[in-house]
């Protein structure tokens, strides 16, 4: 397997520059891989993430809570939830006492779709060539990198 520098036929002024560009390059590959995988299910990776959040919550939750838990921040969360509602994978529930607040709940159809996806999902195998220790180190390094990024 070619290394990053060979793959893009480039040299870098430092390992830090190389690492940062490699992170972006790899993230792009993962995003493309996810888009291709979820397309036959009629989902985007963000919609899948919303369904997983809702399944994990075990009860209806506020849109703001979904936004806080998303892996990829989605400024278009309303549009994403609209599409999931249209597909009857989630439903909106009015919040008692405050018309401005809406709760979101996954439907049986949404749960069934997640069950169909689970055994076919190759995303869980993307790190198979890493040991558990290496995966932990990678996660720790990414956490460390994010602490330097200003929000």
Please state the separation of Cα 18 from the chain's center in Å. Answer: 25
Query: What does the pLDDT read at residue 6?
Result: 76
Residue 86 in contact with residue 120, Cβ under 8 Å?
no
Q: Where are the domains of the chain?
A: 42-121
- pLDDT of 2 reads 64
- pTM for the whole structure: 0.83
- pLDDT score for 133: 96
pLDDT at 150: 65
- Identify the architecture of domain 42-121 in CATH: Orthogonal Bundle (1.10)
- pLDDT on residue 73: 76
Instruction: Please enumerate in sequence order all residues whose Cβ is within 8 A of that of 43, keeping only pairs 6 or more positions apart, or say none.
Output: 51, 113
Q: What is the pLDDT of residue 54?
A: 97
Place of tokens 């040299």: 11
Query: What are the 10-residue block averages of pLDDT along the chain, 151 residues in total?
Result: 73 88 91 92 94 95 91 84 96 87 95 90 84 94 86 59
């Amino acid at each position: 397997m070619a290394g990053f520098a060979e793959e893009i036929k480039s040299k870098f002024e430092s390992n830090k520059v190389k690492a940062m560009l490699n992170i972006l390059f790899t993230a792009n590959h993962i995003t493309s891989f996810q888009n291709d995988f979820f397309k036959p299910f009629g989902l985007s990776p963000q919609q899948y993430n919303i369904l997983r959040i809702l399944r994990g919550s075990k009860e209806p939750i506020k849109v703001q809570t979904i936004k806080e838990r998303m892996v990829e921040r989605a400024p278009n969360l309303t549009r994403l939830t609209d599409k999931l509602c249209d597909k009857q994978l989630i439903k909106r529930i009015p919040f008692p006492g405050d018309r401005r607040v809406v709760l979101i709940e996954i439907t049986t159809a949404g749960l069934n779709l997640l069950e169909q996806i689970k055994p076919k999902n190759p995303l869980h195998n993307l790190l198979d060539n890493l040991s558990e220790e290496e995966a932990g180190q990678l996660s720790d390094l990414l956490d460390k990198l994010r602490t330097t990024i200003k929000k």
